[in-house]
Structure 1
Amino acid sequence: MPKYPPVTKFTDNVTNTLVEVANSRGITADALDFDLLSYETYYEGTVDEEWQLLKGNDLLSETTEIEIRSSTFLLRQEYEIRIHPSKPRPYLNLRFNLATDKYKSKIVALIDPKSEIPLKKGVQEWIKEAIWNKQLRHGFMIGLYDQNLDKEITRLLMKIQKEGPLTAPYRLPVGEFFPPVPPIDDKVILHYKNLKKQNNFIDGVKPGDLLLEYIFPKNGRDGRGCDGHHIAVLEPLSRHAGLIMVDDETITTEQDDDSIRFYARISGYVQRLEGVFSISQELHIESASLRDTGSIEAGIDKEISLKVKKNEANEDSIGIGVNIDVQKLNVSGTVGAHAKIQACELHIGAQTHKKTNIHVTKKANIHLHRGNLKAKEADIEILETGRVEADIVRVKKMVGGEIVARIIEVDTLYSNGRLTALESIEIQTIEGDGNNLIIDPRAIEAYQENLEAIELEIRTRTSRLQQQSKEFIAKEISFKDKNNRIKHFQERIKDAVRSGKSPMRADIVRLQQYRTEFENLKQEEERLSDENERLQRLKEELDTLYEADLHAVITHHGTYNGHTRVVFIDPKTSQEYILTPQRKATHIRLRREGDEKQLLLES
Structure 2
Amino acid sequence: MALFGSDKKTKTARKVRPTVIRTQNVAKEIFNIAKSYEIKPELLDFNILDIQTYTRIKSDKQETEWKEVSQDELRELDDEKTYLNPDFQIKQTYEVEVFSKRVQEEDFCKNFITAVGANATKCKVYLSISAGSSIDYNPRFEDNFIDLINKKKIRAGILVYVFDEMLPDVVSKISARIRVAQHLEFEKSETHLIAEGFEPTPTTDDALILHFEKNKELKDNEKIDYASRGFIQSVKKDELLIEYIKPKLGKPGRNCRGEYMNPSEPVVKHEPTFKVDSTIKVVEDEESIKYYANENGYIAFENETYVIKNEVDVGEISFKTTGSIQSGVDSDVDISVKETDAIKDAVGTGMIVEVSKINIEGNVGSNAKVIAKEAVIHGQTHKTAIVQADDLEINVHKGKAYGKNIRVTRLEHGKIQGEKVKVAQALGGIILGKEIDIDICASHVKATATKRIEIQKLQGSENVFTIDPLLKKDAKEDLDSNQESIENLELELKELKQELKKQTHLIKEATPAFIEIKKRLMHYKKNGVKMPDSFVKKYKQFQSMQENVKNLKAEYEVTQDQLNLLTTRTSSFQDNILDARIINRDKWIGYNEIKFKLVDPPIEVVYKPMEGSHEQVFGLVQLDEGEYVIRPMSE
Establish whether TM, by shorter chain, passes 0.5: yes
1:106, 1:226 within 8 Å by CA — same for their partners in 2? Answer: yes
> Which blocks of at least 5 consecutive residues in structure 1 are unaligned?
465-527
1:373-421 Cα deviation digits (max 9, x unpaired): 1110100011111111111111111011010111111111111001111
- Give the distance between the partners of 2:397 and 2:87, measured in 1 at CA: 81
Question: 1:57: how far off?
Answer: 6.0
Change in 2 beyond 3 A, CA 1:590/1:10 = closer
Among 256, 265, 270, the alignment partner of 2:299 is: 270
Q: Which residue of 1 aligns with 2:136?
A: 119
Change in 2 beyond 3 A, CA 1:292/1:10 = same
Aligned AA (1:274): N
SS at match of 2:214: helix
Q: Which residue of 2 aligns with 1:289?
A: 318
Aligned AA (2:256): C
- Give the distance between the partners of 2:31 and 2:442, measured in 1 at CA: 106
1:440 equivalent to 2:468? Answer yes
> Which blocks of at least 5 consecutive residues in structure 2 are unaligned?
3-14, 218-224, 493-556
Question: 1:588: how far off?
Answer: 2.2
Q: Which residue of 2 aligns with 1:344?
A: 373
- Give the distance between the partners of 1:399 and 1:58, measured in 2 at CA: 101
Aligned AA (2:241): L
Question: 1:241: how far off?
Answer: 2.3
Question: 1:185: how far off?
Answer: 0.4
1:369, 1:386 within 8 Å by CA — same for their partners in 2? Answer: yes
Among 24, 36, 60, the alignment partner of 2:48 is: 36
Among 147, 164, 179, the alignment partner of 1:146 is: 164
1:69, 1:222 within 8 Å by CA — same for their partners in 2? Answer: yes
Among 613, 617, 621, the alignment partner of 1:587 is: 617
- Give the distance between the partners of 2:410 and 2:478, measured in 1 at CA: 32
Q: Which residue of 2 aligns with 1:484?
A: none
1:91, 1:117 within 8 Å by CA — same for their partners in 2? Answer: no
1:238-286 Cα deviation digits (max 9, x unpaired): 2222334322x22223333322222222112222223322222122222
- Give the distance between the partners of 1:588 and 1:5, measured in 2 at CA: 116
Among 71, 84, 101, the alignment partner of 1:69 is: 84
- Give the distance between the partners of 1:559 and 1:51, measured in 2 at CA: 116
Among 243, 246, 251, the alignment partner of 1:221 is: 251
Q: Which residue of 2 aligns with 1:506?
A: none
1:319-377 Cα deviation digits (max 9, x unpaired): 222222211111111112222222111111111111122222x2100011111111101
Matches for 1:101-250 after TM superposition, within 5 Å: 103-107=121-125, 119-121=136-138, 122-137=140-155, 139-149=157-167, 151=170, 161-163=184-186, 175-194=195-214, 199-201=228-230, 202-247=232-277, 249-250=278-279
2:620, 2:630 within 8 Å by CA — same for their partners in 1? Answer: yes
Among 412, 417, 426, the alignment partner of 2:440 is: 412
Question: 1:32: how far off?
Answer: 7.6
SS at match of 2:213: helix
Question: 1:570: how far off?
Answer: 2.9
1:438-491 Cα deviation digits (max 9, x unpaired): 222222446556767888999999999xxxxxxxxxxxxxxxxxxxxxxxxxxx
Aligned AA (1:322): M
1:105-149 Cα deviation digits (max 9, x unpaired): 455678899x99753523554354344335445544211023444
Change in 2 beyond 3 A, CA 1:535/1:258 = farther
Q: Which residue of 2 aligns with 1:507?
A: none
- Give the distance between the partners of 2:84 and 2:363, measured in 1 at CA: 70
2:135, 2:185 within 8 Å by CA — same for their partners in 1? Answer: no
- Give the distance between the partners of 1:411 and 1:259, measured in 2 at CA: 63
1:494-530 Cα deviation digits (max 9, x unpaired): xxxxxxxxxxxxxxxxxxxxxxxxxxxxxxxxxx9xx
- Give the distance between the partners of 1:20 and 1:599, measured in 2 at CA: 108
Among 374, 394, 415, the alignment partner of 2:402 is: 374
Change in 2 beyond 3 A, CA 1:315/1:123 = farther
Among 311, 322, 328, the alignment partner of 2:357 is: 328
1:44, 1:73 within 8 Å by CA — same for their partners in 2? Answer: yes
1:159-189 Cα deviation digits (max 9, x unpaired): 993247x9x9x97765342333220101112
Aligned AA (2:298): Y
Mean Cα deviation higher: 189-198 or 324-333: 189-198
2:441, 2:459 within 8 Å by CA — same for their partners in 1? Answer: yes
1:578 equivalent to 2:607? Answer yes
Q: Which residue of 1 aligns with 2:102?
A: 88
- Give the distance between the partners of 2:40 and 2:451, measured in 1 at CA: 102
SS at match of 2:460: coil
Question: 1:601: how far off?
Answer: 2.6
- Give the distance between the partners of 1:543 and 1:87, measured in 2 at CA: 93
1:368, 1:384 within 8 Å by CA — same for their partners in 2? Answer: yes
SS at match of 1:90: helix
1:536-589 Cα deviation digits (max 9, x unpaired): 999888756524232122222221124222222334322313123321122222
1:334, 1:348 within 8 Å by CA — same for their partners in 2? Answer: yes
Change in 2 beyond 3 A, CA 1:163/1:440 = same
Q: Which residue of 2 aligns with 1:251?
A: 280
2:202, 2:250 within 8 Å by CA — same for their partners in 1? Answer: yes
Aligned AA (1:331): I
Q: Which residue of 2 aligns with 1:600?
A: 631
Aligned AA (2:629): Q
1:195, 1:205 within 8 Å by CA — same for their partners in 2? Answer: no
Q: Which residue of 1 aligns with 2:419?
A: 391
Change in 2 beyond 3 A, CA 1:410/1:456 = same
1:195, 1:203 within 8 Å by CA — same for their partners in 2? Answer: no
Q: Which residue of 2 aligns with 1:482?
A: none
Change in 2 beyond 3 A, CA 1:354/1:6 = closer
1:322, 1:338 within 8 Å by CA — same for their partners in 2? Answer: yes
- Give the distance between the partners of 2:604 and 2:616, measured in 1 at CA: 24
2:123, 2:255 within 8 Å by CA — same for their partners in 1? Answer: yes
SS at match of 2:104: coil
2:391, 2:405 within 8 Å by CA — same for their partners in 1? Answer: yes
- Give the distance between the partners of 1:112 and 1:555, measured in 2 at CA: 85
1:425, 1:555 within 8 Å by CA — same for their partners in 2? Answer: yes
Aligned AA (1:591): V
**TM-score (structure 1 length as normaliser):** 0.74
Aligned AA (1:414): A
SS at match of 1:368: strand
Mean Cα deviation higher: 453-462 or 429-438: 453-462
Aligned AA (2:370): I
Change in 2 beyond 3 A, CA 1:57/1:352 = farther
Aligned AA (1:182): P
1:378, 1:390 within 8 Å by CA — same for their partners in 2? Answer: yes
Change in 2 beyond 3 A, CA 1:16/1:162 = closer
Q: Which residue of 1 aligns with 2:528?
A: none
Change in 2 beyond 3 A, CA 1:431/1:66 = farther
